[in-house]
Amino acid sequence: AAGVIQSPRHLIKEKRETATLKCYPISRHDTVYWYQQGPGQDPQFLISFYEKMQSDKGSIPDRFSAQQFSDYHSELNMSSLELGDSALYFCASSPNTGANEQFFGPGTRLTVL
Amino acid sequence: EDQVTQSPEALRLQEGESSSLNCSYTVSGLRGLFWYRQDPGKGPEFLFTLYSAGEEKEKERLKATLTKKESFLHITAPKPEDSATYLCAVGTNFGNEKLTFGTGTRLTIIP
């Protein structure tokens, strides 16, 4: 079965620009999570969605927003990019809320110049 | 606040030399403890979920165990392809779905 798909895989932006990251969850997975991983750091939770509604929020800057669409794919929108936003951004999906493992995508490497 | 601490930070082993990685956790209510493997520049790969103290799970050369305060990932007779960063994460049961990760153990297996 296909895994989580993320696009683009690499993205280079200038400071103050905007970026949109896309995530396509595993088929029949209705919960999507976004994580940010800086160099040498562990993944930090940003935000999650269940059945197209925001279900939990972590340390996500106000400059970032996200949503989940009717086909369950999700987009992370990032505005007024800063140098410190350079990181790997992972999307993960799980079948439903509760004690279920999350399956991660390959990530989008964002570089802000 | 949920906390996850992994040790050691880095571990170098000879091929075939067995060892264990530690994950200590402090959470308000454990929903599950998860082990992931991460290769450089790639997404974490799911390995195991443990739900209650005393539970054990195995997969090839890996075995994960759980107590009320910590989890161990035992690696038996490792091979060079086992080299990776191993991440431990916890999920709690107060409506939070997020995973809180430890900083990982970077494992290197020397041929």
Residues in chain B with CB shorter than 8 Å from the CB of A24 are: none
The answer to whether residue B93 scores a pLDDT higher than 70 is no
d(CA A34, CA B19) in angstroms, rounded, equals: 33
Mean pLDDT of B45-74: 96
pLDDT on residue A2: 83
Residue B8 preceded by cis peptide, ω within 30: yes
Pairing of strands A31-37, A87-94: antiparallel
Show the tokens assigned to A26: 């595993």
Q: Using the predicted structure, report yes or no on whether residue A1 has a pLDDT greater than 80.
A: no
- In this predicted structure, what is the pLDDT of residue B98? 87
Per mean pLDDT, which range of A20-24, A99-103, A104-108, B15-19 is the poorest? A99-103
Does A99 contact B at CB distance below 8 Å?
Answer: yes
User: In the predicted model, is pLDDT for residue A97 greater than 80?
Assistant: no
**Is A95 an interface residue toward B (CB < 8 Å)?**
no
Distance CA A32, CA A54 (A): 9
pLDDT band with cut points at 50, 70 and 90 for residue B87: very high
Q: What confidence score (pLDDT) does residue B75 get?
A: 98
CB contact under 8 A, B97 and A50: yes
pLDDT, tens only, B1-22: 889 999 999 999 999 999 999 9
Sorted by sequence, the CB contacts under 8 Å of residue A61 that are 6+ apart come out as: none
Buried b (16+ CB within 10 A) or exposed e, A59-70: ebeeebebebee
**Cβ–Cβ pairs < 8 A, chains A and B:** 62
With an 8 Å Cβ cutoff, is B104 touching chain A?
yes
Q: For residue A98, give the chain B residue with the closest CA.
A: B97
- Name which of B32, B34, B104 is nearest A42 (Cβ-Cβ): B104
> What is the C-alpha end-to-end distance of chain B, expressed in Å?
41
> Could you read off the pLDDT of A25-65 as tens digits, one per residue?
999 888 999 999 999 899 999 999 988 999 889 989 999 99
Could you give the CA distance from residue A44 to residue A36 in angstroms, rounded to a whole number?
Answer: 5
Using 50, 70 and 90 to split pLDDT, how confident is the model at A99? low
Three-state SS at B105: strand
Residues 12-71 (B) with a CB less than 8 A from some CB of A: 31-32, 34, 36, 41-46, 49, 51
Give the pLDDT band of residue A102 (cuts 50, 70, 90): very high
Query: In this structure, what token pair is assigned to residue B48?
Result: 């195991």
Question: Would you tell me how many other CB atoms lie within 10 Å of the CB of residue A81?
Answer: 22
**B101–A42: do the CB atoms touch at under 8 Å?**
yes
Instruction: Identify the residue with better confidence: B98 or A13.
Output: A13
- For residue B94, what pLDDT is reported? 60
**B79-107 mean pLDDT:** 89
**CB-based contact A56 B36, cutoff 8 Å:** no
What number of helices (H) and strands (E) belong to chain A? 0, 11
* Chain A positions in Cβ-Cβ contact with residue B103 (cut-off 8 Å): 41-42
Q: Looking at the complex, does the CB of residue A23 fall below 8 Å from at least one CB of chain B?
A: no
